[in-house]
Structure 1
């Protein structure tokens, strides 16, 4: 909302192109995140389909296990990509305290808090998916990436919220 309350105002003309770029980035991320809903459903359905596979013979058990592990890895990609997209929302908000309409600066704090909460929620889904993945190297790599992303997100959120809080007190 802050972008729409900034764009077209003479007072903010010098930063209008940057604010427009933020708005366009946000709209693209909304589309991307919306597409992840169907991707997540499809990935989960693939996992469920593997659990329903026959397991009467050793060959069936082996095929089921192999396909299940592949499906779990694919299912893990969606929440991780969701978390990455949420981080990009945080990044988009970074300059808004300096260039956006100060009358709507609280929108920035709301945006970054929601984005960071969504990021953390997606990472919890990564955690639960990794619990059932047998490939220890894969799991180790995702845990490393997951915690790194979470730390970066928390730091960026705190930076942006601090800038907003300063503006709210002035």
Structure 2
């Protein structure tokens, strides 16, 4: 349970859930568009989008538990024996692999959340106008998920001894954050203006 005194599930799982809810709202807007009068010319786009948003939503639901499992892997590595040099080396290697898994998990979440935002952006002006605010909320939920996932990557990066892995990951999250910020602003402004670009 999230409010318990257990550290997992925690922020990474919540980030995944936030992204999944965003994907659900994008799917809802698509479903409110397909087959509706006046939206015949955007039907194909909405159908493609709902297929992908549904898939991303399921991935993000799966990432809720995956993130908890990744964290538990780090904790298990710390509990390994460290009496001999051999045990210490094995424990240290397991801790590093655990941290890498604990980084890959929220990185996957951040990437999926960005794609949800891209799908929302692609529906601007093409979705049912009565559901425009739902599209905006969906994008914002995905953006919250992206930011939360990035935070979880950043907290674990200093523990990584592999400098190439750390550097490459830092570049990835910077790019994800920047792209997400641009999309969030564009979508928010579009919704605020009621679809008047």
> 1:70 Cα shift?
1.2
- With the length of structure 1 as denominator, give the TM-score of the two structures: 0.93
Aligned positions, number: 170
1:21-170 equivalences in 2 (<5 Å) = 21-167=48-194
Larger Rg: 1
Query: Aligned with 1:134: secondary structure?
Result: coil
- With the length of structure 2 as denominator, give the TM-score of the two structures: 0.81
- RMSD of aligned alpha carbons: 1.6
2:84 and 2:73 map into 1 onto residues whose CA distance is 21
Query: Aligned with 1:50: secondary structure?
Result: helix
- Does residue 5 of structure 1 match 2:32? yes
Query: Aligned with 1:95: secondary structure?
Result: helix
1:40 and 1:113 map into 2 onto residues whose CA distance is 21
> 1:131 Cα shift?
2.0
The answer to whether the 8 Å contact 2:100/2:160 transfers is yes
Higher relative contact order (CA 8 A, sep 6+): 2
Greater Cα shift, 73-82 or 54-63: 54-63
Mind listing any 5+ residue stretches in structure 1 that lack a counterpart? none
2:92 and 2:164 map into 1 onto residues whose CA distance is 18
Runs of 4+ in structure 1 off by over 4 angstroms are none
Query: Aligned with 2:114: secondary structure?
Result: helix
Mind listing any 5+ residue stretches in structure 2 that lack a counterpart? 1-27
Greater Cα shift, 116-125 or 50-59: 50-59
1:27 and 1:2 map into 2 onto residues whose CA distance is 12
> 1:97 Cα shift?
2.1
